[in-house]
Amino acid sequence: MTNISACGAILCLVGITSSLWASAAPLPANWQMLPTAQQAPEKGLPSALQTPLLAKQQRPLDTVELLVALPFEQVLPVVQASLAPLGKFNAPVQRTRVAYMDHGWGNVLIARRPELKAEFIRRYRMPALQTAVEQGALLAEELPLREQRLQRDATVDAMSDKLAELQGSFASWQASAEQKHGVLGRAKSTIEVRVMQVDEALGKPATAISLSRTDDWPNPNGGIVDQLREFNVMGGGPSPRLSRRRVPEAVFTPVYDAVRALPGAALQIGVGASDWQLPAQADARIVEPTLTAPGGNKDATAAQRLLPFGSGDYYDMRPLADGSVLLLSSYPEALWRWAPGMGEKPQRLWQASADAGRAGLSVDPQGRTAWLAVQRQIVEYSLEQQRAIAHPLRWAAGVRQPISGGWKWTHDTQGRPVPYDHALDGGGAIRDVLRVLEPQATPSADGEPWIYTQRFDAPRQGVVGGYPGNSLVKPVRWDRSGQGFWIEDPAGLTQLDGTTGRVSRVLTLPRRFGKVDGNDDTGMAQWVPAPLGSAKGGWVAVGFVLMEGNRRDPGMHVVDLASGKLRYSLALPGLNALNAATASADGRPVIESQPLRLLGPAPAALGAAG
């Protein structure tokens, strides 16, 4: 548009705008102009800025989006004319490639044209996944599901200028005008407007208009005296100025009324472009799990309180074959033993002299020897020796140390500690790996070092990004000699080759966290124990925390390894977290909701699935 045509439009429409403003058109349901008397008070807000505000469901908005079913060239001069009394909005019309359509309208386009996203994924995402299969990070049978997930994932940006359909251009105009208020002009406001051609996004002529105003004024409690009085070395004093972003009536109504009066406008109003984005259809593959609570044919056993300590005193425990229990406490890290008949005071076996870093407590399948692994040593306790001995940690040549945080710990089928790390320096094409070590030398004499060597770098870690929540894979902890090396990852339950770390089998899992969602059921839960496996029971259990309204339902999905199918989902509804889980001697999963201060053969609120 030329400056001459814009000016002509302004001259012919100023009078019309004024009359329309005087009799504002009604707003759709749930939208309203919120009078100043109904607004939350804002400290020091000058009277000149106190004005009715556009709101939805009684909540003032930061910005508003208007959609007009008319060409950009027809709508722009009307918007410019309606805003002319409010200031000088000087800006040229820009033309931009459709592939760079922003402010949410690119998402609207892709949702309407799924074939474009499918083409983008096929050409630019799937080759990398094919390479991941060759690297051992994925199975070929996973590719169709991965492709479907990318297609449904709203965060996948398919707006690529490599696609011929997105190489055209669209017009936009974005401008602002500043106003000053008060005698000294210390309060100010900036009106921002954007008019954008969105024909490609909607498949027909359409123009989007965005309006907002940012107000800025002196903080009455932000003067020099206040700054000195409330000065804080960590955070400074109060801000000398305050601000807000709103849609005042004086900005909204002139534009709304003017474009609404255009023949064929079919005006719509929304908070943002997402209000016009087509919703994704529910994934027919997703089946929500049926939860089984303790009771009925399940066992629920009352608690027997044996130690009165607070829940923060101990954070891990392991039973031994003689009926005693090893306890792990922190700050400082210490290993304790308690047995019936000892009263309320356990025996301290070992204590760290300084911060021990991450720690792991494990026991052999017979329950006769236990190990506490910390960052610099292994502490060993056995029923035969009845005392704790220490083994310094050593590393074989070529073992790369964690960049930060130190080693995490799991254990092997003999119960011996195994260090692992989510490393970023894998040697292959995939750099994000699960690095797992294995014992090379484990002498029993006190003071003799344990030496660990590299077992494998598993590339699976490098292909589980982009899922909701935490994406760091979790090794499964077996009660005894298990069925291979398994991990839980955001996509499901994955078996790794014990020598190479390559993926050999993948099992899908039901939803593990969050609310019912017809579009996605992936991702791992927090506030649950590590995944565990029972060699005798032939299952692996993984934790979940599902939500029903504001209620949490924690529990564990129990997966049969022979069939790859879910046996059941054992839950303790209404609790915040799942504190412990283990396998019973006969191969049944046991879950516990109570903290470790409740110790005994019958933990509180315990469910054992038969």
Instruction: Categorize the per-residue pLDDT at 10 as very low, low, confident or very high, splitting at 50, 70 and 90.
Output: very low
pLDDT number for residue 480: 76
63 close to 247: Cβ distance less than 8 angstroms: yes
Distance CA 125, CA 151 (A): 11
Spatial CB neighbours of 83, under 8 Å, sequence gap ≥ 6? 89, 177, 191, 193, 251, 254, 255
Q: Report the pLDDT averaged over residues 480-496.
A: 91
Spatial CB neighbours of 467, under 8 Å, sequence gap ≥ 6? 490, 491, 522, 523
Tokens describing residue 410: 């799991």
Distance CA 428, CA 32 (A): 59
Q: Report the pLDDT averaged over residues 57-77.
A: 98
Spatial CB neighbours of 331, under 8 Å, sequence gap ≥ 6? none
pLDDT number for residue 225: 52
pTM (2 d.p.): 0.81
pLDDT number for residue 502: 98
Give the CA diameter of the chain: 100
pLDDT number for residue 20: 36
Residue of 508 and 184 predicted with greater confidence: 508
- Among 410-419, 452-461, 582-591, name the most confident range: 452-461
Instruction: Categorize the per-residue pLDDT at 82 as very low, low, confident or very high, splitting at 50, 70 and 90.
Output: very high
Instruction: Categorize the per-residue pLDDT at 602 as very low, low, confident or very high, splitting at 50, 70 and 90.
Output: very low
The closest of 179, 207, 205, 206 to 192, measured between CA atoms, is 179
Which residues on adjacent β-strands are paired with residue 372?
A: 361, 379
Degrees (nearest 5) of the Cα angle 152, 526, 355? Answer: 135
Q: Average pLDDT, whole number, for the chain?
A: 87
Q: What pLDDT, in 10s, does the model give residues 94-111?
A: 999 999 999 999 999 999
> 539-548 and 513-514 as β-strands: parallel, antiparallel, unpaired?
parallel
Q: Report the pLDDT averaged over residues 180-184.
A: 82
Long-range CB contacts for residues 279-286, cutoff 8 Å, separation at least 24: 280/111, 280/152, 280/154, 280/519, 282/518, 282/519, 283/148, 283/152, 283/518, 283/519, 283/520, 283/521, 286/511, 286/517, 286/518, 286/519, 286/520, 286/521
Instruction: Categorize the per-residue pLDDT at 14 as very low, low, confident or very high, splitting at 50, 70 and 90.
Output: very low
Q: What pLDDT, in 10s, does the model give residues 292-302?
A: 887 644 455 55
pLDDT number for residue 230: 55
pLDDT of 429 > 70? The answer is yes
Could you give the 3-state DSSP secondary structure of residue 515? coil
Query: N- to C-terminal Cα distance for the chain?
Result: 76
Residue of 444 and 228 predicted with greater confidence: 444
Number of other CB atoms surrounding residue 105 within 10 Å: 27
Domain ranges of the chain: 31-98+172-276, 102-158, 311-459, 464-594
Q: What pLDDT, in 10s, does the model give residues 150-176?
A: 999 888 899 999 999 999 999 999 999
Q: What pLDDT, in 10s, does the model give residues 224-243?
A: 655 555 555 455 566 888 99
Q: Which CATH class is domain 311-459?
A: mainly beta
- Among 39-43, 238-242, 587-591, name the most confident range: 39-43
Lowest mean pLDDT among 114-128, 289-303, 394-408: 289-303
Whole-number percent of the chain with pLDDT over 70: 86
Q: What pLDDT, in 10s, does the model give residues 518-539?
A: 999 999 998 898 999 998 899 9
